[in-house]
Amino acid sequence: MSRLDRSLISGLAPFQGLTAVDLNRMVGQAHSLRIAKDEAVFEQEGEAHSFFLLLDGHVRVIRTTPDGQQVIVRYISPGELMGIAHALGRTTYPASAIAAVDCVVLAWPGRLWPEFAAAFPDFGANTYKMVGSRLQDAHTRVVEMSTEQVDRRVAHALLKLVNQTGRRMDEGVLIDFPISRQDIAEMTGTTLHTVSRLLTAWEEQGLVKSGRQKVTVTEPHRLLMLAEGRASKT
């Protein structure tokens, strides 16, 4: 790990409140690795040997059902921890993590978790706070799946991605990694067909512009209106 990396890391949410010394001690025990696009960082059911920090890129967390259907649990952005099965008292990963683009991650051996949690209480607290907010997210999603219809769910999903990883462009806000209709379908519990239809409809209304593995939201505000139900219809 170079010094440069450390200064980048110090600002990240999981390490808020840690001293430079502590941070060094933690980072010193990690090794960094590159994960090529479409490769797995870790795999569902696999033994949880490590936990990770995403330094660069985007990672898709996926759960696969026994009959092979996939659901995208969430996208990980740079600066987030992932694969923290150990923190939750698990010995296997509950999902797979696939690089959506070429990624750089920091990996720690799982056995270090208890040591870290004990030695760096702020780190533990930050992590659990994050777990808490993921729990909220998951419940929100359950509520969404239970009460909203497909178009609103898709709209919400796009807005979430835009907020999380949006990049301002001339025409609007671009989702910063390749994302297919199929991916969006797996995030929202629908089919790629339906997503395609929705996107073309929205494109005609000028809400979004989309292409192959690419979505730009041109009118976030109007899309939000649609997501929240006060549809403008025009």
Partner DNA sequence: CAGTGACTTTGCTGCAACGCAAACAGATCG
Partner DNA sequence: CGATCTGTTTGCGTTGCAGCAAAGTCACTG
Bridge partner residues of 31 (DSSP): 107
Q: Using the CB atoms, write b or e for 174-207: b if 16+ within 10 Å.
A: bbbbebebbbbbbbbebeeebbeebbeebbebeb
135 near a second copy, rule: CB under 8 A: yes
16 near a second copy, rule: CB under 8 A: no
The interaxial angle of helices 112-119 and 121-147, nearest 10 deg, is 110
Among 67, 149, 170, 212, binds a second copy (CB under 8 A): 67
Among 9, 76, 82, 95, binds a second copy (CB under 8 A): 95
Angstrom CA distances, 219 to 21, 58, 155, 166, 232, stand at: 45, 24, 12, 13, 12
What's the rounded Cα separation, in Å, for the pair 199 and 171? 16
Bridge partner residues of 52 (DSSP): 82, 107
13 near a second copy, rule: CB under 8 A: no
141 near a second copy, rule: CB under 8 A: yes
63 near a second copy, rule: CB under 8 A: yes
Q: x/- string (CB under 8 A) for a second copy, residues 172-211?
A: --------------x-xx----------------------
CB 147 within 8 A of CB 141: no
Among DNA, a second copy, none, partner that 129 touches (CB below 5 to 8 angstroms by kind): a second copy
Among DNA, a second copy, none, partner that 89 touches (CB below 5 to 8 angstroms by kind): a second copy
71 near a second copy, rule: CB under 8 A: yes
Both tokens assigned to 20: 């430079």
Q: Which stretch in 14-22, 67-75, 97-105, 170-178 sits in contact with a second copy by CB under 8 A? A: 67-75
- Report the residue number, 95 or 173, with the smaller CB distance to a second copy: 95
Instruction: List contacts with DNA (CB under 7 A).
Output: 149-151, 180-182, 189-194, 196-197, 199-200, 210-213
Least Å from the CB of residue 167 to DNA: 18
What's the rounded Cα separation, in Å, for the pair 83 and 48? 8
Question: CA angle, corner 170, sides to 202 and 58, nearest 5?
Answer: 75
Among 31, 34, 111, 139, binds a second copy (CB under 8 A): 139
Phi then psi for residue 228, to 5 deg, are -90, -5
234 near a second copy, rule: CB under 8 A: no
Number of residues lying near a second copy (CB under 8 A): 35
